[in-house]
Structure 1
Amino acid sequence: MELLHSGKIRDVYADGDDVLLVTSDRISIYDVVLPTLIPDKGKILTQLSLWWFDQLADVIPNHVISATDVPAEFAGRAIRCERLEMVMVECIARGYLAGSGIKDYERDQAISGNPLPPGLVESAKLPEPIFTPSTKEPVGGGHDRPMTFDEVVDSQGKELAEELRRVTLEVYRRGSEIAATKGIVIADTKIELGHANGVLKLGDEVLTPDSSRFWSADEWSPGGVPRYLDKQFLRDWSAGLPDWNRTAPGPEIPDEVVEATRNRYIEVYERLTGDRWR
């Protein structure tokens, strides 16, 4: 197999007409890959994505060919996929005020051109979910930049831009409804979309603790700080480091922080799927 691309977390191999998407145990924050691995993370993300692909199959087709027809050394963490011509837009949906959206809202009372009412506080639920896309910068090419919907229209055309927005919001809506029944709030999520034979499909990962903000619903309230069930926990840990400026190389993660991070990923998997992580 030919290694086509090695990203922050995933490695992509060519295997005939297909590609193998292999998810590692690497973890990144602020676009920096940290030197410490999170055991089982790649398998958790892969298995959770496969579960979500099934839940969302009637919303949009996906790139999955097989989760079992993969080399033995990649078992559990690899998916055989269709080759997609990826859309060069990060498709993000937000249902709550969190992350970088807080600063945008405080500055503009809007996020990515979506006007919002005054008086919202951190963690507040938005009146309705909004589409807040960003650029998709190459690895090492700098941080992604927020885009307005009009900028997506300019770069992708009106028809595709409207479909990206529709699909992103519908994936978020469906995912949020399912997660709510399991006591989990999905504050926001990012999805990857691409074309195969002219058909728009969902690719990469979907609704995982790497691509989404998950909060425990019973510990959420507007203005409060909910219990994170995603890698925001790791970001908060790194914020207390006096000698790291969010550039490479990243800091080593202490064992207790590794364990706490892994436990959150497992908790999300088990609560959502109803299956015990082996």
Structure 2
Amino acid sequence: MLEPNFKFPKQTAFYKGKVRDVYTIEDRLMVMVVSDRISAFDVVLPRPIPYKGQVLNQVAAIMLEATRDIVPNWVKSVPLPNVTIGVKCETFPVEMVVRGNLTGHAWRTYKSGQRVLCGVTMPEGMKENDFFPAPIITPTTKAHEGHDEDISREEIIAQGLVSKEDYEQLEKYTLALFERGKEMAKKRGLILVDTKYEFGKAGDTIVVIDEIHTPDSSRFFYAEGYEEKQKAGEAQKQLSKEFVREWLMENGFQGKDGQKVPEMTDEFIRSVSERYIELFENITGQKFVKEDVSEADAVKKINETLSTL
């Protein structure tokens, strides 16, 4: 199912995101199809990555189930490798980004001389990939189109994007989820470096939505050799889709106006697909099994599942 075009009985809405296609059923359930599309710098790249959707959906399903005791989540059923069905929520218009290390966007900000990111002051004297004294939350706005923007806790509350009471709860959930994610990663010989969480409300209950602790939403380092590499000033070996961003930057693309996406060769596509499968197996400790589903079989299975919910 590279680009399925479903139409379900009792369907009331459809939304096509950068990676996910979301079908709303009776305004109470959502069918999320995680496609093989890949985005970087908020741009959907021209060619899909085989099995990427399955990797993301199955990692998210495992991680959401493993954190259900911390915060409720939206998932009702995972009927297919790249499909999740869950409760329709009123989403908060912010993404909760949490960082344990000075990496990626935080490092680029720090290297430029700035010491405040999203209203949070970063300590002096840090090197790239160093641990923060304690994890920091650096939220962004949640853009349906274009780029997400950095925003501070104070701005979110002042602009009425999230109430003070709800935002404080989001912070608590974010830090608790990150702590659980770090514990799970440690068992796999990994360091959960940074990640993002999205939340919504089902009635009056805050729930975590979308995906968590996947290679698209998170960055992992290998724990073995971390200290040695830091002391030597060497790049960390990591598990994330950062390698795709790095390849794009090396080829002159950062999503800016006028820039053209470099050619994605068959060899590059194959290597990215293999890297995602490697990510799945390292993060979960499970063997990845490639599953191909026809569109007709997918529709049948999804409809059967919907009839029971």
* TM-score, normalized by the shorter chain, greater than 0.5: yes
Partner of 1:63: 74
1:18 equivalent in alignment to 2:25: no
| Gapped regions of structure 2 (runs ≥ 5) | 1-7, 290-309
| Secondary structure in 1 matching 2:172 | helix
The Cα shift of 1:246 comes to: 2.2
Number of the residue aligned with 1:215: 221
Q: CA deviation at 1:128?
A: 0.7
Structure 1 position 78 matched with structure 2 position 73: no
Determine helix, strand or coil for the equivalent of 1:253.
Answer: coil
1:246 alignment partner AA: G
Alignment gaps of 5+ in structure 1: 69-74
Per-residue deviation at 1:55? 0.9
Correspondence 1:77-96 to 2 at 5 A: 77-96=82-101
* Structure 1 residue 271, shift from structure 2 partner: 2.2
Deviations 1:31-73 (A, max 9, x none): 11111111100011001000001110111010001112xxxxx
Given residue 100 of structure 1, which amino acid in structure 2 is its aligned partner?
A: H
Residue aligning to 2:178: 172
Q: Tell me the residue number matched to 1:144.
A: 148
Query: RMSD of aligned C-alpha atoms?
Result: 1.7
Counterpart-to-counterpart distance in 2, 1:111 and 1:181: 31
Cα offset, 1:180, TM superposition? 1.1
Is the CA contact 2:18–2:37 (under 8 Å) kept in the aligned structure 1?
yes
1:108 counterpart SS class: coil
Which of the residues 195, 210, 228 maps onto 2:201? 195
Q: TM-score, normalised by structure 2?
A: 0.82
Of 264, 270, 274, the residue aligned with 2:275 is 264
The CA distance in 1 between the partners of 2:213 and 2:278, in whole Å, is 14
Runs of 4+ that moved beyond 6 A = none
- Matched residues, percent identical? 35
Shift of 1:157: 2.0
CA distance in 2, matches of 1:203, 1:251: 33
Letter of the 2:85 counterpart = R
Shift of 1:11: 0.3
Deviation, 1:249, is 5.9
**Equivalent residue number for residue 45 of structure 2:** 34
Q: What is the rounded CA distance, in whole Å, between the counterparts of 2:245 and 2:202 in structure 1?
A: 35
In structure 2, C-alpha distance between the alignment counterparts of 1:24 and 1:249, rounded to whole Å: 23
Assess if the C-alpha contact under 8 Å between 1:53 and 1:62 holds in 2: yes
Count of residues paired in the alignment: 269
Larger deviation, residues 256-265 vs 41-50: 256-265
Instruction: Tell me the secondary structure at the aligned position of residue 67 of structure 1.
Output: strand
Corresponding residue of 1:71: none
SS in 1 for 2:65: helix
Secondary structure of the corresponding residue to residue 4 of structure 1: strand
